[in-house]
């Protein structure tokens, strides 16, 4: 291949790189930032209607370090509330990290929004779509849209692009005991665990099962089995003995084995028990203890 032809091929390769989707995205980001306005950080206040209330301290710290090194990559969105003062619509986490990083001003997009409902909608949509909210925060926000802003499930469904059943499931989580809600917010159990526990009416039993989920690291399926056993028991004898026995047996085996134990019930009602021992000697000592 001639040098001239090689240069043409290399030239086309360079053009392809410069016109790549990543580069176009980079240019778009630069354009968006250039269209933003630097605002004094002391003139910005948080939105009291912000759906997100649970800010992870470690996430804020990591973002603060990033901002110190690179600055603000994506401007926050604000609205003007009076002369020289602004309120955050979205980007409170970036705002908090920027203050912690010692920035005096940050880039902002200014939205002409006057209605509190519209602000809440914008904040909600951004956070939900970016999966920044925990399930309880999402449920609380949906409930607030219903109670304070007279929106129905269908309206919220169109607003956030979620089906009606999904929205209803988030709202139902708010019926859980506050301790269990805190567990979901802190990531100790999932929304699936919470949805299973909602079917337990007895608050004390609900908390007992919650503690078992945490101590035995029960899966959602195992939790559903406990709840199902409880419902069968209620139908047959009006009590929750089956679930209580399930919990009691697990606790006693864990105390005996000095190890986590998992009980699993199949569709026929047969129960299997599994645990892990450090070595064969530990298993042998347990067998000796049982024989005595």
Catalytic residue positions, numbered: 92
Q: Please report how the helices 241-257 and 280-291 are oriented relative to each other, as an axis angle in degrees rounded to 10.
A: 120
Residue 213 contacts residue 195 (beta carbons within 8 Å): no
d(CA 242, CA 233): 6
H-type alpha helices, the chain: 3-18, 21-34, 57-70, 92-101, 116-129, 135-147, 153-160, 164-172, 178-185, 191-197, 203-216, 220-237, 241-257, 280-291
d(CA 225, CA 232): 10
Fill in the DSSP letter of residue 174: G
d(CA 107, CA 65): 18
């Amino acid at each position: 291949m001639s040098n001239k032809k090689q240069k043409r091929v290399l030239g086309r390769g360079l053009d392809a790189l410069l016109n790549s989707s990543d580069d176009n995205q980079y240019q778009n980001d630069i354009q968006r930032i250039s269209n933003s306005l630097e605002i004094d950080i002391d003139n910005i206040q948080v939105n009291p209607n912000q759906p997100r209330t649970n800010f992870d301290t470690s996430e804020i710290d990591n973002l603060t370090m990033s901002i110190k090194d690179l600055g603000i990559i994506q401007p926050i969105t604000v609205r003007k509330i009076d002369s020289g003062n602004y309120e955050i619509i979205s980007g409170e986490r970036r705002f908090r990290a920027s203050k912690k990083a010692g920035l005096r001003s940050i880039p902002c997009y200014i939205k002409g929004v006057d209605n509190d409902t519209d602000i809440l909608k914008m904040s909600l949509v951004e956070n939900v779509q970016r999966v920044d909210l925990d399930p309880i925060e999402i449920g609380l926000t949906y409930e607030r849209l219903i109670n304070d802003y007279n929106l129905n499930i269908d309206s919220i469904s169109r607003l956030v692009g979620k089906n009606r059943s999904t929205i209803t499931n988030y709202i139902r989580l708010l019926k859980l005991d506050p301790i269990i809600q805190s567990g979901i917010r802190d990531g100790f159990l999932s929304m699936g665990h919470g949805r299973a526990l909602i079917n337990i009416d007895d608050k004390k039993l609900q908390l007992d099962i919650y503690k078992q989920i945490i101590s035995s690291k029960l899966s959602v399926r195992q939790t559903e089995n406990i709840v199902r056993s409880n419902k069968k028991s209620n139908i047959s004898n009006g009590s929750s003995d089956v679930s209580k026995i399930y919990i009691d047996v697990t606790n006693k085996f864990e105390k005996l084995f000095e190890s986590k134990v998992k009980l699993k019930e199949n569709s026929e009602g047969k129960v299997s028990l599994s645990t892990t021992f450090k070595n064969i000697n530990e298993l042998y000592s347990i067998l000796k203890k049982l024989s005595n």
